Structure 1
Amino acid sequence: MTGPEGKGPRSPHDLADTCATRFKRRHRDWLADPDAAASDTVRFATSMPTAARAADDPTGTAGWIRAWRNFDSANSAPGVQVTWAERRLAGFGVVSLPHRVEVRGARDIARIGGQSARWSTLLDRAHRIRALGPDHVALRRAAAGTAPVWEKFDDEDMAHLLTVCRWAIDNPTVGLTAREVAVPGIDTKWIESRVRIIEQLVDAARAGRGGSASGSGLGLRGPGPRLRLRILDPLIGFPLRDVESPVDQLATLWSDSTGPRHLVVVENLTTFLALPAIPGAVALFGRGYAVDAVAALPWALRARIVYWGDLDSHGFAILDRLRHHAPHAASVLMDHATFDAWRQFSVSDPTPTRAARTRLTAEELDTLELLTAAGDLRLEQERIPWDWALPHLTDALRAP
């Protein structure tokens, strides 16, 4: 008897679905703006049965009318209004039929949509966030913007969030590490994994207080980037063959001409670990866009740099970025010949990048265009057989 709009009369269950959809789309707007929450209105047409439909299905029509009468009786709240209209239907005579329904206000929309408990929790937590500072407008907006994060917290994590925010509001944080945020019962990892939402709420809470500028965040000091190196030539003076260390410490190595003549940058750990002994060479595990750290290594910038990345849009993006710091960096195994030889191992890249490439050679751009035109293909470097790859890598290192 009932169905979606345009396909027969619509029931109270259809209204509940409509209200649930409105709640899903608008609840964050309601958290940010109480006036919007109070005025938002669902206007719902019941699509009353025609005389012909009533004659064809009198039992279904009677059940539909009964369902709406029960709904109207159970929802006498000011925010819910059912408008009835008299119609003559065969077999029924003149009968009052529900014509349209209006549900006004977030509370009733949530209730009809089966979201009362969720809305109550959202309101309670947003109220506690709003109490963090004097600018309630800023804090309501911050609460709404971060709701997808804090709504998933259990009660203990929500209490931790508010406690850390209050501590950060009352204490200087710039230059501290997360470990130095001295909140009893809350560990460093908890803070580090939630620093973004903490900063957003603290910034909003500082608004109107004077002193700290809104948008400054916590200013916590991070651990700094780390890089992993392998010494491929045992004659290079270094006590370890495979080491991971902060970039600022690696930058102090080889301050004279005893440093490596070659730097091999690869993006795959398996490839990195499989690299054989190469005279005068050090290998860097690039880890994607970690190639930016090369700019902080004076000895690396003095070396001949060979980059071997995946044959895909991201590999060329990383190469382009590496050349921002080291324009002399050369690529290897990122060309037509390699792709043509091992194309059978390529797959489609579901998330290609379209960023502009301004530092690639004409041949590299041609290869990138080939990958794109073929459907954003990617050929991962570990799929290229080692007996093919190693001679090409060796030749690249020997090139002038």
Structure 2
Amino acid sequence: MVATRSEPRDPDQLTAACATRFARVHRRWLADPFGGDAEVVRFSTAPPTAANAAEDPSGTAAWIRRWREFESTHGGPDVRLTWADRRLPGFGVVPLPQRVEVVGADTIAHIADRASRWARLLNRTLRIIDLGPDHSMLRRAAAETSATWEDWEEGAFNQLLAVCRWALANPTAGRRAREIAVPGVDTKWIETRTRVVEAVLDAARAGVDDAVRGTATGLGLLGPDVRIRMRVLDPDIAFPLRDVESPVDQLATLWRTSGGPPHLVVVENLTTFLALPDLPETVALFGRGFAVDAVAALPWALRAHIAYWGDLDSHGFAILDRLRHHAPHAVSVLMDTETLDAWREYAVPDPSPTRAAPSRLTPDELDALEALTTGGDLRLEQERIPWDWALPRLHAVWS
């Protein structure tokens, strides 16, 4: 077998490598600027061999010239090229670049042609950390929400800061969105951006004395009467109905004088919700995407052992991440690489994957999310997983 000869790599490929690194970790740099300063892209140029030079002397000369021009333009303490003398046919002994090290977030962004984007992200992050005393928390909140606000017009971003400042100075719990008295901000603006506002707002409250900030989290606004569907999966649980849909505030009044059901399973798929069999000491919630946020308003749900079973896709993991904002003890079920590998033949490409950067997933969940992404942004829907596979794993969550 004849070994395949690697082709020399040029500065454009270094640009692409830096762009890939930027896309993958720039939010981590926002959260940890010291880590960003220490980031290094190490790039091998795969310099031409004697066979390369003999076969294409003009291409070899052009390759060397491009790297010299690159070093002349970009070389310095943060862009380090290592050269070594090599003998090539037709060239004699000639210095060839062997490898390049690009050091630091700013420099990587510059080489990646992302400098203006990076400057915009940094500028907006700095404005977010001015909202409160705990700059570490605010940096993390900025990093977690940057995918949402990065492409906003400047006016919309200014409104985000203004709403946060107003909420820091005024009680919001129990109010309607229309009562947020910020010029240019209407009800629809608040309702469509509540999650990003609350993430930044909670970080801004961190480090403030409890006597000053109280115990509020989020905005606590009254919204439309969000309705949640609940199924009682254990006939022995004291409740007159097995399947009921109700406004969240009414469901919140259940089991006030008792501990409530020990186990709660949250699903985002109606087919799965309706097909759930009897499970001891368990109720199930389905809320057409609202269930994970409604959990925070249900005292009995927060007391339960919570399992979340979502589609195996980027959106499912984003919902799981959001659920843990309210219930950090929630666990996932059937959202792992074992399930993906077993039923991959039923996975399909997701036409609109989310690029949100979840911060509350376990290492195993992150592995599954990465497998979905690298596999071509796959999605494996809940209902494609046979019950004889799913049920033992659902039972095992609380065993």
When normalised by structure 2's length, the TM-score is 0.59
Residue 332 (structure 1) aligns with: none
Residue 162 (structure 2) aligns with: 163
Q: CA deviation at 1:59?
A: 1.3
Q: Distance in 1 between matches of 2:150 and 2:270?
A: 41
Q: Distance in 2 between matches of 1:104 and 1:371?
A: 46
Q: Distance in 2 between matches of 1:49 and 1:177?
A: 67
Structure 2, unaligned runs of 5 or more: 229-240, 255-268, 285-310, 317-331, 335-381, 391-399
SS of aligned partner of 1:102: strand
Structure 1, unaligned runs of 5 or more: 228-262, 266-283, 298-309, 326-349, 357-367, 377-400
Q: What is the CA RMSD across the aligned residues, in angstroms? A: 3.9
SS of aligned partner of 2:84: strand
Residue 16 (structure 2) aligns with: 17
Identify if the C-alpha distance between structure 1 residues 158 and 14 changes in structure 2 by more than 3 Å, giving closer, same or farther. Answer: same
Q: Distance in 2 between matches of 1:370 and 1:54?
A: 55
Q: Distance in 1 between matches of 2:22 and 2:196?
A: 23
Residue 372 (structure 1) aligns with: 386
Larger radius of gyration: 1
Q: Is the 8 A contact 2:85 2:94 kept in 1?
A: yes
Identify if the C-alpha distance between structure 1 residues 182 and 6 changes in structure 2 by more than 3 Å, giving closer, same or farther. Answer: farther
Residue 98 (structure 2) aligns with: 99
Deviations 1:93-120 (A, max 9, x none): 0111011111111111011111111101
SS of aligned partner of 2:139: helix
Task: State yes or no: 1:316 paired with 2:317.
Answer: no
Identify if the C-alpha distance between structure 1 residues 155 and 87 changes in structure 2 by more than 3 Å, giving closer, same or farther. Answer: same
Q: Distance in 1 between matches of 2:125 and 2:119?
A: 10
Residue 112 (structure 2) aligns with: 113
Letter in 2 for 1:24: A
Letter in 1 for 2:272: S
SS of aligned partner of 2:98: strand
The 5 Å alignment of 1:191-340 reads 191-210=190-209, 211-212=212-213, 216-225=217-226, 312-317=271-276, 324=283
Q: Is the 8 A contact 2:8 2:47 kept in 1?
A: yes
Residue 143 (structure 1) aligns with: 142
Q: Is the 8 A contact 1:130 1:136 kept in 2?
A: yes
Q: CA deviation at 1:177?
A: 1.4
The 5 Å alignment of 1:333-372 reads 372=386
Q: CA deviation at 1:319?
A: 9.2
Q: Distance in 2 between matches of 1:25 and 1:202?
A: 26
Q: Distance in 2 between matches of 1:215 and 1:62?
A: 66
Q: CA deviation at 1:130?
A: 0.9
SS of aligned partner of 2:159: helix
Q: Distance in 2 between matches of 1:145 and 1:57?
A: 49
SS of aligned partner of 2:90: coil
Q: Distance in 2 between matches of 1:100 and 1:214?
A: 54
Q: CA deviation at 1:176?
A: 1.1
Identify if the C-alpha distance between structure 1 residues 223 and 37 changes in structure 2 by more than 3 Å, giving closer, same or farther. Answer: same
Residue 58 (structure 2) aligns with: 59
Q: CA deviation at 1:78?
A: 2.7
Q: Is the 8 A contact 1:43 1:101 kept in 2?
A: yes
Q: CA deviation at 1:7?
A: 2.4
Letter in 2 for 1:313: T
Identify if the C-alpha distance between structure 1 residues 79 and 43 changes in structure 2 by more than 3 Å, giving closer, same or farther. Answer: same
SS of aligned partner of 1:141: helix
Letter in 2 for 1:90: P
Identify if the C-alpha distance between structure 1 residues 167 and 77 changes in structure 2 by more than 3 Å, giving closer, same or farther. Answer: farther
Q: CA deviation at 1:184?
A: 1.7
Q: Is the 8 A contact 2:86 2:93 kept in 1?
A: yes
Q: CA deviation at 1:87?
A: 0.7
Q: CA deviation at 1:80?
A: 0.8
Q: Is the 8 A contact 1:10 1:47 kept in 2?
A: yes
Q: CA deviation at 1:18?
A: 0.6
Q: Is the 8 A contact 1:291 1:318 kept in 2?
A: no
Q: Is the 8 A contact 1:204 1:214 kept in 2?
A: no
Identify if the C-alpha distance between structure 1 residues 109 and 294 changes in structure 2 by more than 3 Å, giving closer, same or farther. Answer: closer
